[in-house]
Structure 1
Amino acid sequence: MANRTTALTAATVRGAWIVWLVGLATYFVAVFHRSSLAVAGLVATERFDISAAQLATFTMLQLLVYAAMQVPVGLLVDRFGSRAVLLTGTLILTVAQAGFALAESYGAALAARLFVGIGDAMTFICVLRLVNAWFAPRRVPVVTQLTGVIGQLGAIASAVPMTWALSTLGWTWAYGLAASLGLVAALAALIVLHDQPGTRTLRGPALSYSAIRASLASSWQQPGTRLGFWVHFTTQFSQTIFALLWGYPFLVEGEGLSPNAASMLLTLMVLSLIAAGPVMGWFTARHPWQRSTLALTIVGAIAIAWTVVLAWPGRAPLAVLVVLVMVIGLGGPGSVIGFDLGRTSNPPARLASATGIINQAGFVASLTVVVAIGAILDWRSGGGPGADYTPDAFRWAMSFQYVLWALGATQIFRYRRKGRAHALLHGLPRTTLPRERASS
């Protein structure tokens, strides 16, 4: 009997890693599609004859849809299971990216990016739910971080290779080949994924409007959910806006780098993100009371790195830009801390909806910054298609980030006090609190 139990346990562990790898592959594809415009911004302005504000609308629309979909997707996952929602999202992404490849007008391209945002929104929450269903609680923080950071390899695949494909194959073939990745990911998910060990498809109870309101209200009332929301809001947006849209134009037109050098720096940013993720996962698992402190440290480091670059007389040296992108990359795994705060603050039955609430935060912030940067660039450069975006214009535009860092850091300080008080009230031993609490 003992041997049989051991064999079953070993099989479950192997199955967990296989399920995770397939879920991770679908997230990789989603990040690829999400980031595929990052190195195509200048090409898109020529193809569609648009201004910086119109270019920003692509990413603005994508982020707006992504953020708006987070709570509905969380509720869908709680109701229909991760597998069904993940498959649906992957297929939507594939069709949308194919439409973007064929688009010849600005309106058609906008419609395609809208559906890219919808499909993208239906991936990450599903994979996190699979992680929580298949892995032991002690492993969840590290596997969650690995999911977030390894999935960002999709951003690397949309940097140097997409730069090459756009210059060599042209717009339609580059994005058409990118769309084909979704078919492979969908097939693997269809064959391999199970919502939990022994259950291919897990259905939750049907939710009435009043039940949905009660579930979302309960999640939001948890101070840990709100703290997770503001951690995600504050840490993520600088890395997101840099990777999705404005990093490449900033490096090429604002800092005078070659397209290949800019692509390599975007790749380096993702490598920094990947290297930092497992370390942060280990830290959050070992020191749960220090999670908000780690998040604030990351925000401070990003703000300082940007200050050095923006205050540099003239164009910053390459070494300084290397440091900038490596520090910005910390924001990706830093934002995953928010999900761990939500996980430890909510019961499994509403975990996906709480995750959706948290996950929309960083994308609301990113959306705000993307739009503001486009507007400020047009304001400082005269606007219109073909405008010359000077280093001075980029300094003004990128400085808008300080507004959101200040807001987010204030809210993190506010809700970490409330979160710790709530945890102590519900039985967490006071001796687990670090000395940090006395000054928080």
Structure 2
Amino acid sequence: MKYDYRHRWIIFGILASIYFFVYFHRTSSAVIAKELMLEFSVSAVSIGLMSSLYFYPYALMQIPVGMFSDTIGTRKTATFFTLIAFVGATLFGISTSYSMALVARLLMGVGVSGVYIPTLKILSQWFKEHEFASLTGVLLAVGNFGAISSAYPLAMMVIFFGWRSSFLIIGAITFILSLLCWFIVRDSPVSTGLAPVKENESGVRVREGIKLVLKNRYFWPLAIWFFFEYGAIMGFQGLWGGPFLMEVYGLDKAEAGAILMTVGIGMMTGSPAIGLLSDRILKNRKWTLTILTFIYFLTWIPLALKTSLMSVPVFYFLAFTLGFSGSVLIITFTATKELFPLRITGIATSMVNIFPFMGGAVFQTFMGYLMDFVGKEGNVYSPEAYSLAFKFCLIAALISLLASLFTKETYKKSIF
């Protein structure tokens, strides 16, 4: 194939399509949790462990994926990990035991962990700096659309095709995308014989960069914030929100999925709005983060204290507010980038990105443990079981709020 600079949009489209499934798999457990508990005859903590196996490898693979991208190349890295995601989704669809499903979920986590960093590096080579910033926003929007699609649309797929066939279809699509990535995507214009879009910047050794990040005391409030804030969101949106709405309020799968989809809509709406608020209105990072985290904390109060006493319209409002206020995480990424010199921003971002996924893994499992501690009423978990799990999320939101107070203001300030 003969390449010119217009092919960068095709490359972006393929990579964004793969990234769609990164978010999709992250939150897909919520609408099929009840089916999985019945299918494999396991408890809440077992389903929490299964869902969390997406997050552990995702967190642990961030730095290795960056190293793979630098050594074997970004196209090869993205293709290889996308193929692993295909194997995981397919294996999940044909799982005959709980153990087999665990392995499948683990493979999905490993697979999608190798998409974001190679994608950013490829885009940085094909697009100019001002284009790159906008395309990163579009990429995140596509990811959030994947999260939205794992709610109501996936619920409808499960109703019509069953959860197994749904994941086999997803696996087939993922395989097609891996082929497109291999045959069409290229690491840079130079690899196709074109002139580079910009000169490569000198970097820093990974080990040296990690030391610089870990020694910075302002990195840790951001990391703590990420662990507790994103962990609680993934506990609700990514797993236990669906069973809660169906078991405590008797909603069907479609309406429970629609409410969970509203969390994603809130995030899609909040990301650009909060960015504008921070950049143009408040002109501040720290207090933007604190104000939105306070709203996020308030959202958990009725879920934790009025667990079985709310109406369906209230849930739509709470779900949207949870997503909107939770999307302030973009400020956390921005503050992390601004906290360090340009030569190590990639390493710093990769390191802070470990904490939300560790949070997601811990919260999904521990919330299941808390629910099992209270126990079931018949075949469903009691409102008290969900209330205890949500009280844990309320405490986590308070910790995030306190952590935001210890962050460093970085708006148009040189930390170094």
SS of the residue corresponding to residue 257 of structure 1 reads coil
Q: Distance in 1 between matches of 2:283 and 2:219?
A: 15
Q: Pick one of 326, 329, 348 that aligns with 1:335.
A: 329
Q: Distance in 1 between matches of 2:132 and 2:367?
A: 36
Q: Pick one of 242, 246, 250 that aligns with 2:244.
A: 250
Q: Pick one of 103, 123, 146 that aligns with 1:154.
A: 146
Unaligned 5+ runs, structure 1: 1-10, 427-440
Unaligned 5+ runs, structure 2: none
> CA separation of 1:20/1:278 partners in 2, compared to 1, >3 Å: closer, same or farther?
farther
Amino acid at match of 2:316: V
Determine the structure 2 residue equivalent to 1:437: none
Q: Distance in 1 between matches of 2:320 and 2:7?
A: 34
Matched, 1:190 2:182: yes
Query: Among the aligned pairs, what percent are the same residue?
Result: 23
Amino acid at match of 1:371: T
Determine the structure 2 residue equivalent to 1:87: 79
Determine the structure 2 residue equivalent to 1:237: 231
> CA separation of 1:280/1:199 partners in 2, compared to 1, >3 Å: closer, same or farther?
farther
Post-superposition shift, 1:115?
0.8
Instruction: Using the TM superposition, name which of 299-308 and 74-83 deviates more.
Output: 74-83
The 8 Å contact of residues 234 and 365 in structure 1, kept in 2 or not, is answered as: yes
Post-superposition shift, 1:304?
0.8
Determine the structure 2 residue equivalent to 1:127: 119
Q: State TM-score, norm by structure 2.
A: 0.86
Q: Could you report, residue by residue, the CA deviation over 1:184-217 in whole angstroms, capped at 9, with x for unpaired residues?
A: 2223322443334434699x9xx9xx95432211
Q: Distance in 2 between matches of 1:128 and 1:96?
A: 24
SS of the residue corresponding to residue 344 of structure 1 reads helix
Q: Distance in 2 between matches of 1:331 and 1:164?
A: 28
Determine the structure 1 residue equivalent to 2:167: 175
Measured on the aligned residues, the alpha-carbon RMSD in Å equals 3.1
Post-superposition shift, 1:17?
4.4
Amino acid at match of 2:209: S
Post-superposition shift, 1:369?
1.6
Determine the structure 2 residue equivalent to 1:97: 89
Amino acid at match of 1:146: V
Written as runs of structure 1 = structure 2, the 5 A alignment for 1:37-76 is: 37-76=29-68
Matched, 1:115 2:103: no
Instruction: Using the TM superposition, name which of 43-52 and 303-312 deviates more.
Output: 303-312
Matched, 1:260 2:254: yes
Q: Distance in 1 between matches of 2:209 and 2:415?
A: 22
Q: State TM-score, norm by structure 1.
A: 0.82
Determine the structure 1 residue equivalent to 2:403: 411
> CA separation of 1:314/1:108 partners in 2, compared to 1, >3 Å: closer, same or farther?
closer
Determine the structure 1 residue equivalent to 2:271: 277
Matched, 1:357 2:351: yes
Post-superposition shift, 1:18?
4.1
Q: Could you report, residue by residue, the CA deviation over 1:117-165 in whole angstroms, capped at 9, with x for unpaired residues?
A: 1112112223333444444444555433332232121123222333233
The 8 Å contact of residues 92 and 115 in structure 1, kept in 2 or not, is answered as: yes
- Structure 1 stretches of 4+ moved >6 Å: none
How many positions carry a matched residue from both structures? 407
The 8 Å contact of residues 231 and 356 in structure 2, kept in 1 or not, is answered as: yes
Amino acid at match of 2:168: G
The 8 Å contact of residues 148 and 336 in structure 1, kept in 2 or not, is answered as: no
Q: Distance in 2 between matches of 1:292 and 1:199?
A: 41
Instruction: Using the TM superposition, name which of 335-344 and 173-182 deviates more.
Output: 335-344
SS of the residue corresponding to residue 278 of structure 1 reads helix
Matched, 1:219 2:249: no
Instruction: Using the TM superposition, name which of 322-331 and 76-85 deviates more.
Output: 76-85
Determine the structure 1 residue equivalent to 2:300: 306
Determine the structure 2 residue equivalent to 1:164: 156
Q: Pick one of 319, 322, 330 that aligns with 1:325.
A: 319
SS of the residue corresponding to residue 330 of structure 1 reads helix
> CA separation of 1:67/1:212 partners in 2, compared to 1, >3 Å: closer, same or farther?
same
Matched, 1:399 2:391: yes
Post-superposition shift, 1:107?
0.6
> CA separation of 1:424/1:348 partners in 2, compared to 1, >3 Å: closer, same or farther?
closer
> CA separation of 1:15/1:343 partners in 2, compared to 1, >3 Å: closer, same or farther?
farther
Q: Distance in 2 between matches of 1:224 and 1:77?
A: 28
Q: Pick one of 12, 25, 28 that aligns with 1:33.
A: 25
Amino acid at match of 1:36: S
The 8 Å contact of residues 376 and 382 in structure 2, kept in 1 or not, is answered as: no
The 8 Å contact of residues 231 and 292 in structure 1, kept in 2 or not, is answered as: no
> CA separation of 1:133/1:355 partners in 2, compared to 1, >3 Å: closer, same or farther?
farther
Post-superposition shift, 1:65?
1.8
Q: Could you report, residue by residue, the CA deviation over 1:404-436 in whole angstroms, capped at 9, with x for unpaired residues?
A: 22333333322316x68x94564xxxxxxxxxx
Post-superposition shift, 1:285?
4.7
Amino acid at match of 1:215: G
Q: Distance in 2 between matches of 1:423 and 1:276?
A: 25
Determine the structure 1 residue equivalent to 2:361: 367
